[in-house]
Structure 1
Amino acid sequence: MERATQWNILGEHLVDENRHIRLSTVDVELPDGVRFTQYVARMPRCAMTLVLNENREALLMYRHRFIIDQWVWELPGGYVDHAEDVAAAAAREVEEETGWRPRAMRHLVTYQPSIGSLDQPQEIYFSHGADLTDTAPDINEAEAIRWVPLDEAVAMIDRGEIVGAATVVAIYRALSLSE
């Protein structure tokens, strides 16, 4: 496949930065000479885990997402600390947020959720099974924790109860692996 001419990056200017996001504007010139300024957000790598039990039920959390002002079901997960192993981070997040410790972790898929203006690598791991621990789930993370059959999770996507990209990707990826 022949490559098209790349865009010319003329400069990048920092707007704001903290440990969760780096927001900048980037001045760009297209191959035809058109110039524009694009906002770009860069966020840390995130790791989520799809835990399935022996009944092919997914471990999901019910939580309020204030940005969209909606209660949703989603996978446990979160930011990967700088030097942390991604699989270890994914397992840590499951235990902290749900009280369940995933068994063997296996990489399922890596993707970028919105490559037009956001750089935020998302890594989804898979664990067949988990063990309940004495760790109390973080009350700031979830209102409820539930094992949901995969076919019900698909229906929840259709009803708008699951809207987060990582959970949607993981549920459909799990279905494709089982066919």
Structure 2
Amino acid sequence: MEWKSYGRRRVYDSPYVEVWLDDVDIPGIGRIDHHVITMPKASVTSVVTNEAGDFLLLYRHRFITGRWGWEVPAGWAEPGEDPAAAIAREIEEETGWRPGKVEPLVEYDALAGISTMHFRSFHATGCAQVGVPVDSSEGKVEWLPEVEVVKLLTSGNVADGPSLAALSYYLGPHRLA
């Protein structure tokens, strides 16, 4: 059964996020105001590997959750920017490594019940170091062997949802395809 929408009103907006209240009729429940979070820019992430099978990750602090953790490079595609070009730019800006090849990995809706946030994940290879990270707030950048990445995943040291999804997909279903 589909919900029926009767309109929406904006509660908040910025260049990064918009919050709306949608007037919806939910079958079996009735008419309610339902909050919706929209993202004006497309979200992109990438699993970055080298010929030795190592993974390029960032160790950083997220003040909202108060946690340190390992993450894959990620960011936003500007309006009209090709998502693959956007993640190549983000990888270089965040790590100082320029990818040689960027291929689609998986797409998913991160918070389908309340948000339009849609992630496009890529696999980047053939990286060449071209400098240092542009933004020093990104944290520590390291190449880690697969066995260490698996340990990080299973110990909760990759808590960022987009990183957890991209790495898990790469290490699992991607290899079976």
Asked if these proteins are the same fold (TM beyond 0.5), I'd say yes
TM-score of the pair, normalised by structure 1: 0.91
Q: Secondary structure at the match of 2:65?
A: coil
Q: Percent identity?
A: 32
Range 65-74 or range 131-140, more displaced: 131-140
Partner of 1:149: 145
1:136 shift after superposition? 3.9
Taking the aligned partners of 2:63 and 2:133, their CA distance within structure 1 comes to: 23
Taking the aligned partners of 1:160 and 1:139, their CA distance within structure 2 comes to: 24
- Aligned equivalent of 1:100, options 97, 102, 114: 97
Q: Secondary structure at the match of 1:140?
A: helix
Aligned-residue RMSD, C-alpha: 1.4
1:135 shift after superposition? 4.3
Partner of 1:165: 161
**Structure 2 gap segments, 5+ residues each:** none
Range 147-156 or range 43-52, more displaced: 147-156
1:137 shift after superposition? 4.0
1:166 shift after superposition? 1.7
Taking the aligned partners of 1:171 and 1:93, their CA distance within structure 2 comes to: 17
8 Å CA contact 1:112, 1:120 repeated in 2: yes
Change (3 A) 1:29 1:93: same
Q: Deviations over 1:110-163 (max 9, x none)?
A: 111110101111111111231000344420222x11112223212212222101
Partner of 1:78: 75
- Aligned equivalent of 1:174, options 165, 170, 176: 170
Range 149-158 or range 47-56, more displaced: 149-158
Amino acid at match of 1:154: V
TM-score of the pair, normalised by structure 2: 0.92
**Regions of 4+ moved over 6 Å:** none
Taking the aligned partners of 2:19 and 2:152, their CA distance within structure 1 comes to: 33
8 Å CA contact 2:45, 2:166 repeated in 1: no
**Residues 34-113 of structure 1 aligned to structure 2 (within 5 Å):** 34-43=30-39, 44-113=41-110
Change (3 A) 1:70 1:56: same
**Structure 1 gap segments, 5+ residues each:** none
Q: Secondary structure at the match of 1:36?
A: strand
Taking the aligned partners of 2:72 and 2:155, their CA distance within structure 1 comes to: 17
Q: Secondary structure at the match of 2:124?
A: strand
Taking the aligned partners of 2:73 and 2:158, their CA distance within structure 1 comes to: 13
- Aligned equivalent of 1:122, options 119, 127, 141: 119
Matched, 1:21 2:30: no
Change (3 A) 1:59 1:118: same
Taking the aligned partners of 1:128 and 1:104, their CA distance within structure 2 comes to: 5
Amino acid at match of 1:161: N
